[in-house]
Amino acid sequence: MNTVTIKLKEVPELYLECESVTPDKFAGKSLEEIAALPCSEGKCNYTLGEWFEISGASGATAAETKIEVYGPGTSKCKYFGAWMTAGEVVVNGTADMFTGAWMEGGKLHVKGDVRSFSGLQMKGGEMLVEGRAWNYLGAAYRGDWRGMQGGLIRIKGDAGSDIATFMNGGTIIIEGNADIHIGTHAEGGTIIIKGKAHRRVGGQMVKGEIYVFHGCDVMMPGFKKIEEREIEVDGEKHMFNVFIGDLGERHPKSKGQVVYGHIYTLKE
């Protein structure tokens, strides 16, 4: 795999929109062609070469291309890895909104935090975040009913609110705690929170699984405990309390059985 290294020359005054920073856009291009790719700050249009020092070489295809991003100021750059289908992007710092949004494949590694709307409507690939995630991780775009549909997101720290709204598929693993409104309107997929969640987990959920290892401050009234079960989660077996819901919603049937969403909490 060939590597292209890009380093910000200075911190943007506003926020730099970097949709071009994906292996799909870099693949098969010379450094001069990569430098000519577009980016923007506010209403002003620029090229990547005006903002980044660019070195290395791209691969012939996206799958053969890796991008290393360095600061200062990566936290003021949006859309790193958005729409990528293959290859690898490593952000050596924090990344701003829409990081990995609409991602379909490849690997995205952020060594700091990711801001709101990261992994938005993600369809495939893997995203690893060493810090924390802000709000609307793996959620639907505003006004849309399709959230995350596939792939894997792993957050090593905490996460904010409205995680996985309208989730249809894929897996989100949060190794810390999460705030309110987790998996609202979920119709599939798996959410694993290894810490605790605040409240309003699984509201209007129809299908899918939410694991909250250390429970919720307040369980939604539409969920009912049905059993205790040993389950392997992220490579480890635990005994869980099993809840079904949201019982206030209409639920489909499969093979004559009603399909519910599930919330699991560790049995103390």
What are the tokens at 161? 């609110």
Confidence of residue 167 (pLDDT cuts 50, 70, 90): very high
Per the prediction, the chain carries an average pLDDT of: 97
Write the pLDDT tens digit of every residue in 222-233: 999 999 999 999
% of the chain surpassing 90 pLDDT: 94
Confidence of residue 165 (pLDDT cuts 50, 70, 90): very high
What pLDDT shows up at residue 268?
A: 81
Quickly tell me which residue has 């990547």 as its tokens: 48
Q: Determine the average pLDDT of the residues in 69-89.
A: 97
What are the tokens at 11? 């911190």
pTM for the complete prediction? 0.96
What pLDDT shows up at residue 112?
A: 98
- Residue 151 to residue 266: CA distance in whole angstroms: 25
Decide: residue 232, CB within 10 A, 0-12 exposed, 13-18 middle, 19+ buried: exposed
Write the pLDDT tens digit of every residue in 15-24: 999 999 999 9
What are the tokens at 154? 């792993």
What pLDDT shows up at residue 254?
A: 87
Q: What share of the chain is helix, strand, coil (3-state, %, to 5)?
A: 5, 40, 55
Nearest-10 Cα torsion for 80, 122, 172, 200: 110
